[in-house]
Structure 1
Amino acid sequence: MKPATAHPQQPLIENQDLVDRVIAKHDGRAGMLLSILEEVQENHPHKYLPMEVLDYIAHKTRTPHAQVYSVATFYALFNLEPQGQNTICICRGTACHTRGSRNLLERLKLELGVKDSGEEGGADKLSITTPDRKFTLRTVACFGQCALAPVVEVNHNILGHVNEQALEREIAALGKGKKKQ
């Protein structure tokens, strides 16, 4: 009988080398969980944390899975679903709502051709990614920029006093590949 040949170990998850480097950079300490999750998400091609990555991080950092999942779901900056190349967040706070953010949201959904499925939380909390993954549309509770209402964030850039025309120009520029960072 022939001895079994050793096979190189297959990665357990996509981008395992990256995740291992990030964990090692933070010494694998559970206290650095926020930094680890943030860096891993930022380097994922679809800017999210797949469940198998959360499981792997929990295992490698010896942190209970429930704790890793709790952190990933508590903070709004973390995504558990694939995100678009461009992210547009519309404030749903009182000042923005009274100054037209709801109309901006409805106009943007029409422009992007997306609808609420009811599963995303309706107008109160929304996160929809277009099928081509070019855009993710989200609502947030408040940006804390009420004097600039209505406020929209496009790829981490805060825009104040936004009207439908300004928002359409932003979307058109992004659609032509002028991604702002």
Structure 2
Amino acid sequence: MRPCADHVLDAREKTLIEQAVAAHAGRAGALLSILESIQSANTHKFLSAAALRYVAEKTGTPPATVYSTATFFALFNLDPQGDNVVCVCRGTACHTRNSRDLLTKLCMDLGLGGQDVQDLSDADKLSLTTADRKFTIRTVACFGQCALAPVVEINHHILSHVNERTLQRELKTLTQERK
């Protein structure tokens, strides 16, 4: 995953970064808080390469450290995210309860199908976004909700014992809400 290279920071984004740096300066874990603030304020919930460089400049942190932090923690996105983020658990309990089939069906329903999905559905860090940026499909290694398997998270809301019908109903609801 590489940060979106063609993004150029505007004055508002620079001000936001400067405010985040000022708000968290001198605190333990400041870099994490700064990056989280910046990503949360971004319309597409991601950290651009330009933002990472500007954070490095404003904090005096080596760019490699900023980039390493952003790539180490799963909560950070280096690519624009869709309006709705659907995360499918790929942990052992969810896998044995067909999370792979849910993931494949979800991707096919959203037009993200094909061989790539079949090849990547075992990946812990799959991230695909629809062309219209309405949905991002991600996988996670484990939500830690194994008794509720298979687990799917939609926009930070955990769904348990998910089947294809439940998933289709949730997608339909999201699609109708966005119209």
TM-score norm. by structure 1 comes to 0.86
* Identity within the alignment, %: 57
Distance 1:87 1:31 in 2: 26
Cα separation, partners in 2 of 1:176 and 1:28, compared to 1, 3 Å: farther
| Number of the residue aligned with 2:5 | none
| Number of the residue aligned with 1:135 | 135
Cα separation, partners in 2 of 1:116 and 1:139, compared to 1, 3 Å: farther
Is 1:37 the counterpart of 2:35? The answer is yes
Is 1:111 the counterpart of 2:138? The answer is no
| Contact 2:104–2:113 (CA under 8 A) maintained in structure 1 | no
C-alpha deviation, 1:115, in angstroms? 3.1
C-alpha deviation, 1:102, in angstroms? 0.6
C-alpha deviation, 1:46, in angstroms? 0.7
C-alpha deviation, 1:13, in angstroms? 1.9
Is 1:13 the counterpart of 2:9? The answer is yes
Structure in which a larger fraction of residues adopt helix: 2
| Number of the residue aligned with 2:3 | none
Distance 1:133 1:28 in 2: 37
| Number of the residue aligned with 1:161 | 161
Number of paired residues?
Answer: 167
| Number of the residue aligned with 2:95 | 97
Distance 1:116 1:159 in 2: 26
C-alpha deviation, 1:17, in angstroms? 1.2
Residue type matched to 2:165 in 1? Q
Gaps of 5+ in 1: 1-11
C-alpha deviation, 1:178, in angstroms? 5.9
| Contact 1:47–1:83 (CA under 8 A) maintained in structure 2 | yes
Q: Give RMSD over aligned pairs.
A: 2.0
Cα separation, partners in 2 of 1:28 and 1:115, compared to 1, 3 Å: farther
| Number of the residue aligned with 2:144 | 144
Residue type matched to 2:71 in 1? T
Distance 1:132 1:144 in 2: 31
| Contact 2:108–2:114 (CA under 8 A) maintained in structure 1 | no
TM-score norm. by structure 2 comes to 0.87
C-alpha deviation, 1:18, in angstroms? 1.1
C-alpha deviation, 1:116, in angstroms? 6.0
Of 46, 49, 56, which residue of structure 1 is paired with 2:47?
A: 49
| Number of the residue aligned with 1:62 | 60
Helix, strand or coil for the counterpart of 1:138? Answer: strand
Cα separation, partners in 2 of 1:156 and 1:116, compared to 1, 3 Å: farther
Runs of 4+ in structure 1 deviating by more than 6 angstroms, as ranges, are none
Distance 2:28 2:17 in 1: 14
